[in-house]
């Protein structure tokens, strides 16, 4: 019997009604500033759409010229609710959102399950929003694709890099890392903190900590892979909740970053 992971944060982080959700996502994408990079990897934030949706759209808008060739998405996000020692696969056959059903790439899952530090843990995925909020953007941009979702817990950069290299693929595979930046700092302090974090990411520094980015573990592994594969990082957008829909006393930082392979730089 096939297993489905239902949406957990529809109606909270994003609209639960399909028509409203599609309208909101397409509107965010339409307002995104155009860029010419052809990404192999993107980093996008995962807060409620009223807070981080415009920044996430800055990354997903890059997929327009290449959407037709992307058939598989490797999606990594940090664990917020369930402790994970390493990385966790979902143990499901499909992920649902209000926009439809996404099949899980069983072949890729089988490969990753053979790694000692990767486990099947449906409970780690059950309420995890860091992956879920990326899915409507991917559905709006790509249409049909298969998904390899991984919740990242206490994982080393080398472990995350090994996962990425196992399922790297070619032009048909997009990698998405879900992360916000600093949390609950005054606006100016948060901005300065996030600028320093972005400098580290653009320098491919693999020593980020949780105070800099809640997705520090998957980002560090990505940056190690970027060094090995000579990927080039490009900052697309950097704002905070104080710039979108929140007050400036306690802001959360958000960034959109693309990583391109040398042959695809524009």
Average pLDDT on 77-104 reads 96
For residue 127, what are its two tokens? 């309420």
Residues 6+ apart with CB under 8 A from 66: 38, 39, 171
Quote the strand ranges of the chain, DSSP E.
4-5, 41-44, 72-78, 87-89, 94-97, 100-103, 118-120, 146-152, 173-178, 183-185, 232-240, 251-260
CATH class of 47-264: alpha beta
pLDDT band at 121 (very low <50, low <70, confident <90, very high): very high
Span 215-238, mean pLDDT?
98
**Where exactly are the structural domains of the chain?**
47-264
Give the alpha-carbon dihedral of 169, 145, 28, 264, to 10 degrees.
Answer: 30
By DSSP bridging, strand 41-44 and strand 146-152 are unpaired
With 80 as the cut, is the pLDDT of residue 122 above it? Answer: yes
Is residue 112 within 8 A of residue 65, CB to CB? The reply is no
- pLDDT of 45: 98
Give CA torsion, residues 137, 41, 149, 127, to 10 deg.
-60
The per-residue pLDDT of the chain, averaged, comes to 96
pLDDT band for position 258 (cuts 50, 70, 90): very high
The whole-number pLDDT of residue 35 equals 84
Sign, Cα dihedral of 203, 207, 211, 214: positive
Dist CA 264 CA 266 (whole Å): 6
């Amino acid at each position: 019997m096939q297993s489905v992971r239902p949406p957990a944060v529809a109606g909270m982080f994003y609209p639960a009604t399909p028509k409203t959700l599609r309208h909101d996502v397409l509107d965010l994408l339409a307002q995104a500033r155009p860029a010419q990079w052809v990404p192999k990897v993107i980093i996008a934030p995962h807060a409620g759409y009223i807070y981080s949706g415009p920044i996430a759209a800055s990354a997903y808008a890059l997929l327009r010229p290449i959407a037709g060739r992307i058939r598989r998405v490797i999606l990594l996000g940090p664990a917020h609710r369930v402790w994970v020692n390493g990385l966790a696969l979902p143990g499901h056959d499909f992920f649902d959102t209000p926009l439809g059903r996404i099949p899980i790439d069983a072949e890729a899952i089988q490969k990753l399950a053979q790694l000692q530090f990767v486990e099947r843990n449906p409970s780690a995925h059950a309420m995890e929003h860091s992956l879920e909020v990326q899915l409507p953007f991917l559905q709006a941009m790509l249409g049909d694709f298969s998904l390899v979702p991984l919740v990242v817990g206490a994982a080393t950069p080398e472990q995350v890099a090994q996962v990425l290299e196992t399922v790297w693929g070619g032009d048909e595979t997009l990698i998405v890392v879900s992360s916000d930046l600093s949390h609950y700092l005054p606006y100016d302090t948060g901005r300065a903190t996030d600028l320093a974090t972005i400098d580290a990411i653009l320098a491919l520094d693999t020593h980020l900590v949780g105070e800099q980015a809640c997705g520090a573990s998957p980002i560090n592994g990505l940056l190690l892979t970027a060094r090995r594969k000579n990927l080039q990082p490009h900052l697309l957008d950097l704002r905070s909740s104080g710039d979108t829909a929140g007050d400036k006393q306690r802001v959360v930082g958000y960034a959109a970053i693309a990583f391109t392979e040398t042959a695809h730089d524009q």
